[in-house]
Every structure is written in structure tokens, then in C-alpha cells.
């Protein structure tokens, strides 16, 4: 059966996450329903990452096997037609080798966490960022973030129900971008790693917010990491600020 890679964008607000669930809407179920409008016996899809409820994506990657050798552009168009009105879109489709796997072939994942600090509530960006009413010290947050780069035991920043075999991960990049806004402040935390633990990015974002707010000194991030104790973590940031922005492979299937 021909195998296809799909690059997918979605708004996570209406969904209980990526993964198919029996009694709640999921991105996976929406995509599989669209595929079965094209081929009723199409098997399930596999994704590069299982985003949580409320988390968004603009660079999720999944793969599927189909009986028909579709032209990638026509497959993309047909899926987008059947995905309406769900807030899910296929940005690109590509024919790939049979051994390509969206999850296991990936060599990096990239996430961005958005924080908007202003007194006024969010309107146009509601549900797309963590809204704070207090300003943050981006320089202090960068000082705290440095302690998290590299190979570490991230038990402190791992959900208690995380199913990963090991808490040891390598965080390759953690950049904090400050974006000028006419009212308030926007920060974007850009993180890159081969893989992440469950709730790792949101735990890091919530912890660095405490540093930016002045509640924690930057050095306390290192202490929290060394503690290897979930109780030492800052609050877990809400899901709506998080977006899976890209997945890297040895050979980009969409190039």
C-alpha cells in the first residue's frame, strides 16, 4: 500500500488532544474520518507527537497507508474538503517510502509557547496564548532557561502519568523571543529536542514565568532540575499557549 506523509495544522481548542478517544473529539479521529471518506477501509494514522487537549499545531506530521496511489496535491485537497468544518487542515502531502514512520523516523520536535502580558483581555488571540496581566522580565527568564539546556534528568518537569521509559532527555534549544506590541508584551519560548516528556514544555514555561514575574531567582531553576522531584516544579502553564511548530527528519518528506 502506498504510504503518505501529511503535514497538519490544527486549533486544539475543540479537541481532547491528538489521540483518538472513545467518547471525546480528537484530531486523530477527525483526520481518520476524512480519510475513510476517500477509502472506507483506510487504516489508522500515526503522528509524530500526541499533543494534549487544547494544544495547537502548525507543523504536526502523520503518516497513513492507502490503497490508491494518490497524487499528493489531490490527496491534500480531498482531505481538506472532508475535514470541514473542523479546525484541522492538511498543509502538504507527500509520497514516502514504506519504512517512513511519522514518530520513529523523527529526529527532532519543535514547540513554541506564547505568553501575552497585558491588562486588557485577549480577543483576537484568545485561546492562542497564555494571557497574563503582569509584565515579565525576559532577561531573567533567559538566565533561568540556560540551566535547562543539554542532557538532564527532567523528572521535575515531567507529568506524574508520563509513560516515557526514561526522564533523561537532551534539550537542544530554548530561546526566548520578545516581540514588540503596542499594548503589553509578548514572549515566545522556542524549544527544540529529539523528543519531549509529557507536559515538559508546559512545565518549563510555567517555571520560567515564575522567574520572569520575580517570584523565583533564575538560579532556582537549576535547583528545581537537580531536585528530580515534581513538587519542585513551578505551575504547569495552560495548554492554549503551546503549539507544535515542526518535526524534523533526516530527509524532509515535504521538500
The answer to whether domain 3-105 and domain 108-246 are alike in fold is yes
pLDDT value, residue 156: 98
CA 168 to centroid of chain Cα atoms: 19
Q: How far is CA 160 from CA 125, 156, 164, 196, in A?
A: 31, 9, 11, 14
The whole-angstrom separation of Cα 175 and Cα 137 is 14
Q: Confidence band (pLDDT; 50, 70, 90) for 163?
A: confident
Q: What is the mean pLDDT of the chain?
A: 97
pLDDT value, residue 14: 97
- pLDDT, tens digit, for every residue of 112-151? 999 999 999 999 999 999 999 999 999 999 999 999 999 9
Q: Tell me the domain boundaries of the chain.
A: 3-105, 108-246
Mean pLDDT along residues 50-75: 97
CATH 3.30.70.660 holds for 108-246: yes
The helix/strand/coil state of 154 is coil
Q: Confidence band (pLDDT; 50, 70, 90) for 84?
A: very high
pLDDT value, residue 37: 96
The helix/strand/coil state of 177 is strand
pLDDT value, residue 161: 87
Mean pLDDT along residues 156-177: 95
pLDDT value, residue 160: 87
Q: How far apart are the first and last CA of the chain?
A: 22
- Taking the CA of residue 150 as centre, how many other CA atoms within 13 Å lie in the half-sphere pointing to its CB? 5
- pLDDT, tens digit, for every residue of 4-26? 999 999 999 999 999 999 899 99
Give the relative orientation of helices 138-145 and 200-212 as an angle to the nearest 10 degrees. 130
- pLDDT, tens digit, for every residue of 183-217? 999 999 999 999 999 999 999 999 999 999 999 99
Residue 250 has pLDDT above 90, yes or no: yes
pLDDT value, residue 31: 98
Active site members:
52
**CATH: 3.40.50.980, 3.30.70.580, 3.40.50.300, 2.130.10.10. Which one for 3-105?**
3.30.70.580
Cβ atoms within 10 Å, residue 217: 13
Q: What is the dihedral of CA 131, 184, 128, 224, to 10 degrees?
A: -50
The whole-angstrom separation of Cα 19 and Cα 176 is 29
pLDDT value, residue 115: 98
What percentage of the chain exceeds 70 in pLDDT? 100
Give the burial string for 119-155 (b: 16+ CB within 10 Å, else e): eeeeeeeeebbbbbeeebebebbbbbbebbeeebebb
- pLDDT, tens digit, for every residue of 208-233? 999 999 999 999 999 999 999 999 99
Amino acid at each position: 500500500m502506498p504510504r503518505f506523509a501529511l503535514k497538519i495544522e490544527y486549533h486544539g481548542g475543540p479537541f481532547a488532544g491528538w489521540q483518538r478517544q472513545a467518547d471525546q473529539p480528537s484530531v486523530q479521529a477527525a483526520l481518520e474520518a476524512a480519510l475513510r471518506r476517500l477509502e472506507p477501509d483506510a487504516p489508522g494514522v500515526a503522528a509524530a507527537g500526541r499533543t494534549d487537549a487544547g494544544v495547537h499545531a502548525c507543523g504536526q506530521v502523520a503518516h497513513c497507508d492507502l490503497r490508491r496511489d494518490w497524487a499528493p496535491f489531490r490527496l491534500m485537497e480531498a482531505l481538506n474538503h472532508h475535514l470541514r468544518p473542523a479546525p484541522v487542515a492538511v498543509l502538504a502531502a507527500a509520497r514516502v517510502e514504506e519504512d517512513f514512520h511519522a514518530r520513529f523516523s523523527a529526529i527532532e520536535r519543535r514547540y513554541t509557547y506564547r505568553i501575552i502580558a497585558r491588562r486588557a483581555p485577549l480577543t483576537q488571540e484568545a485561546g492562542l496564548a497564555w494571557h497574563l496581566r503582569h509584565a515579565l522580565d525576559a532577561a531573567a527568564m533567559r538566565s533561568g532557561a540556560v540551566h535547562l539546556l543539554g542532557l538532564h534528568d527532567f523528572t521535575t518537569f515531567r507529568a506524574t502519568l508520563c509513560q516515557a521509559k526514561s526522564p533523561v532527555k537532551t534539550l537542544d534549544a530554548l530561546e526566548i523571543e520578545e516581540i514588540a506590541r503596542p499594548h503589553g508584551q509578548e514572549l515566545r519560548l522556542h524549544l527544540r529536542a529529539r523528543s519531549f516528556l509529557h507536559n515538559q514544555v508546559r512545565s518549563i514555561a510555567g517555571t520560567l514565568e515564575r522567574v520572569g514575574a520575580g517570584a523565583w531567582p533564575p538560579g532556582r531553576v537549576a535547583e528545581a532540575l537537580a531536585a528530580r522531584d515534581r513538587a519542585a516544579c513551578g505551575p504547569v502553564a495552560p495548554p492554549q499557549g503551546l503549539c507544535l511548530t515542526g518535526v524534523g527528519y533526516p530527509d524532509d518528506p515535504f521538500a
